[in-house]
Amino acid sequence: MNLYLAATYIIDARYGRNGQFEADDNSVRLYNLYTHWLPKLVTYFFLLLLLSLAIFEKPAVPGLEIEYWVTMPMELICLIVIGSRLFHLKLFSPGRTFYSDKKNIVVLATIVIVVIDMITYIALVNSGQSMYAYRWSRPLRPLILVNITEGRQIRRAFRNIRRTLPDILNVLVLFFLSIALFALMALKIFERRPELRLYTDNSPYFKHYGDIYFQLYVLVTTANSPDIMMPAFDSNKWFSLFFIVYLVVCLYLFMSIILAVIYKNYRRHLKNEIKKSVFIKRVKLNRAFDELKEQQDGKSVVTEKTWNAVMQEVLPNRNQVYYSLLWMVLDKDGNGYIDQNMFLQVADLLNVEVSEVRNQKHLIEKFWPHIYNSSVSIAVRQVVMHKFFRYFFDLAIVVNAFFIGFNLDEAEWFFLSVFTCEIILKLYTYGFREFCRRFWNIFDFIVISAAFIATIIEAALEELQYSRETLDVLLVLRILRLLKLVGSIDRFKIIIGTLTNIAPSMFTYGGVLFVFYYVFAIIGMEVWGTMLSGNVNVTFCNNPALIGTEFARDHYCNNNFSDVLTSFVLLFELMVVNQWHVLTSGFEAVTSAWARLYFVAFHLLVVIVVLNIFLAFILEAFMLESSLSAGKFSNAVEEKIKEMGLWVSK
């Protein structure tokens, strides 16, 4: 009976981890070190550092440029840390599982490629060939983020995307074929009509097939509607029929179908993922059971003694009372042992949150009991707990909103004191622990105390110099205060509840988007870099190729790839879609029509695939939200606790 090994299996099952390791003591210890939070945090830190090098490398964010002979050693350190983490993994991996795992191979290959790139770069620069020196391996960096053990959530999202692709490919092919047919029709109908006026930017109207194809693709994104129709429409109103039919087919039908196909596949894969994770849990728990089992009445069972022993390894921070509680839930018939079937439910049982209410006293009650229990104090606490107390401060927020709206800044000190009072009174009545249990209390605390500190700083500096940035922060904090009102309206609670539940998964999609953004930003910077900029002259973005273009006329010069942060903003604008064809036209003007490929690829990948998968995720989250109920185990635990007379209602 190896308690340490069994405890490791149980912890793996509890957190749904699927680490493979040899069963010998040394490997298990290495595995537990590997899953410890500290090495994880270190890896995250260096990964983040590696990715954020893009801020300092050329083309760098203005003022933050660092020479390559500084960034490269930093990069090397990051790679070494990540490499040693891989080496750590290799140490306890059984047999050939390390090399048969594609993730590890991808990370290793990426490291090797980056090192080769670094060497070539240094060699080229120092041999005076710096015009050929490109850091072409930089877009590969996110590969490490996705394939490292810690990137499990993001990797899962990517797997989802990869599996959905074949299914939407059919629809996409049909979609592109439809555009091809419509483009051919448009060419045939409009090329024989030289009387149609030009676009407002004097470019020819529907003359070349490739151009029409691109324009119609842009029309599906609605970015050039209705401008693309107007020349034809001005000549004959019936031409609008062509565009209406086109939009109904390619926008309303195809885009809906793409979402439908993505949603369908998303659900299918979600089901598979859940099945798989349940399977992994069972495997781990079976292994743990094999380690812990004893023979009793001819059956393999786990006894209470073994249970208590292994629980001390699994949950060293909990006490015997908790272990016994869990045991009582598991050992329903009270015969002193549990069989394999019951043992398989340990993982879910451990995830039920049971918080012990230590019989703690309010701090003030502890030190000054006569004050805390005085009649005034009791009255105050009763007032605070009354619903009119909440109504009063909700009203205060509304009044505050008007004061902010009408720029009556003199009252700010008053409101700040009122809301500070509210927090102090609540803290006094409920105690710190209870106060922190509610999301809106913490929100309130942060917003008010930050405003308090900023106001003091502002007051202190007032005679010296007025800082607009402090004022901005203060204003935002003041207005955020109003948000609390939303939290106190019952009808919004379900929506906000759902949102807070799915927030962690939403961050996963943020990670996926970050990966796409990073790759596209680095490529964009390598291709366009400082070809255009808005720093010196915004009328033509410092590039004569842009004189008189719509890009310059719309003042889009600052939307460029001059550094990684600006690139991210530009890519965000492209994700929002509107005017993306104008942005494209600018970068097309300074290079060639091939630039369209970059922008269309971004639109296809990010807007059509990733955003639709995100939408599918939200749809499913709201579908599940209503059908979710408290799991059977949290009920079983609650019952046992009540049975034992230890229940304290909130």
**Smallest gap from residue 240 Cβ to a copy of itself (A):** 5
- Between the CA atoms of 497, 503, 505 and 508, what dihedral angle is there, to the nearest 10 degrees? 170
> Near a copy of itself by CB under 8 A, which window of 252-260, 316-324, 383-391, 524-532?
252-260
Taking residues 144 to 183 in sequence order and writing x for each that binds a copy of itself by CB under 8 A, - otherwise, the string is: --------------------------xx-xx--x---x--
> Near a copy of itself by CB under 8 A, which window of 22-30, 106-114, 222-230, 342-350?
222-230
Distance CA 77, CA 89 (A): 18
User: Which H, E and C letters describe 532-582, residue by residue?
Assistant: CCCCCCCCCCCCHHHCCCHHHHCCCCCCCCCCHHHHHHHHHHHHHCCCHHH
Q: Which of 23, 576, 644, 646 binds a copy of itself (CB under 8 A)?
A: 576
Question: Is 45 among the residues that bind a copy of itself (CB under 8 A)?
Answer: no
**Smallest gap from residue 608 Cβ to a copy of itself (A):** 15
Question: Is 204 among the residues that bind a copy of itself (CB under 8 A)?
Answer: no
Residues 403-422 that bind a copy of itself (CB under 8 A): 404-405
Q: Which residues, in sequence order, are CB contacts of 282 under 8 Å at separation 6+?
A: 344
Distance CA 67, CA 163 (A): 41
Q: Which residues, in sequence order, are CB contacts of 90 under 8 Å at separation 6+?
A: 98, 104
Taking residues 371 to 410 in sequence order and writing x for each that binds a copy of itself by CB under 8 A, - otherwise, the string is: ------------------------------x--xx-----
Distance CA 73, CA 60 (A): 17
Residues in the interface with a copy of itself (CB under 8 A) total 82
**Smallest gap from residue 275 Cβ to a copy of itself (A):** 18
Distance CA 606, CA 119 (A): 33
**Smallest gap from residue 244 Cβ to a copy of itself (A):** 6
Nearer to a copy of itself, 77 or 253 (CB): 253
Residues 615-644 that bind a copy of itself (CB under 8 A): 615, 618-619, 621-623, 626
Cβ-based neighbour number of residue 315 at 10 Å: 17
Q: Which of 91, 380, 423, 565 binds a copy of itself (CB under 8 A)?
A: 565
Taking residues 457 to 496 in sequence order and writing x for each that binds a copy of itself by CB under 8 A, - otherwise, the string is: -----------x--xx--xx-xx--xx--x----xx--x-
Tokens describing residue 500: 């807070």
Taking residues 419 to 458 in sequence order and writing x for each that binds a copy of itself by CB under 8 A, - otherwise, the string is: ----------------------------------------
Question: Is 253 among the residues that bind a copy of itself (CB under 8 A)?
Answer: yes
Residue 301: strand pairing partners: 294
Nearer to a copy of itself, 60 or 261 (CB): 261
Nearer to a copy of itself, 195 or 333 (CB): 195
Tokens describing residue 210: 């490739």
Taking residues 507 to 536 in sequence order and writing x for each that binds a copy of itself by CB under 8 A, - otherwise, the string is: ---------------------------x--
**Smallest gap from residue 421 Cβ to a copy of itself (A):** 24
Q: Which of 73, 94, 210, 226 binds a copy of itself (CB under 8 A)?
A: 226
- Between the CA atoms of 189, 195, 199 and 204, what dihedral angle is there, to the nearest 10 degrees? 70
User: Which H, E and C letters describe 441-503, residue by residue?
Assistant: HHHHHHHHHHHHHHHHHHHHHCCCCCCHHHHHHHHHHHHHHHCHHHHCCHHHHHHHHHHHHHH
CA angle 265, 268, 272 (to 5 degrees): 135
**Smallest gap from residue 224 Cβ to a copy of itself (A):** 7
Nearer to a copy of itself, 45 or 507 (CB): 507
Query: Exposed, middle or buried, 141 (CB in 10 Å: 0-12/13-18/19+)?
Result: buried
Nearer to a copy of itself, 76 or 184 (CB): 184
Nearer to a copy of itself, 185 or 354 (CB): 185
Report phi then psi at 548, rounded to 5. 80, 0
Cβ-based neighbour number of residue 177 at 10 Å: 10
**Smallest gap from residue 305 Cβ to a copy of itself (A):** 50
Question: Is 189 among the residues that bind a copy of itself (CB under 8 A)?
Answer: yes
Residues 581-620 that bind a copy of itself (CB under 8 A): 611, 614-615, 618-619
- How many Å from the N-terminal Cα to the C-terminal Cα in the chain? 41
Q: Which of 96, 192, 370, 387 binds a copy of itself (CB under 8 A)?
A: 192
Nearer to a copy of itself, 23 or 184 (CB): 184
SS3 301: strand
**Smallest gap from residue 570 Cβ to a copy of itself (A):** 9
Tokens describing residue 559: 């939307």
Question: Is 553 among the residues that bind a copy of itself (CB under 8 A)?
Answer: yes
Question: Is 271 among the residues that bind a copy of itself (CB under 8 A)?
Answer: no
Distance CA 527, CA 591 (A): 9
Question: Is 257 among the residues that bind a copy of itself (CB under 8 A)?
Answer: yes
Cβ-based neighbour number of residue 190 at 10 Å: 19
Report phi then psi at 295, rounded to 5. -90, 130
Question: Is 203 among the residues that bind a copy of itself (CB under 8 A)?
Answer: no
Distance CA 206, CA 246 (A): 15
User: Where would I find the H helices in 198-239?
Assistant: 209-220, 230-235
Nearer to a copy of itself, 309 or 618 (CB): 618
- The single-letter code of the amino acid at 27 is S
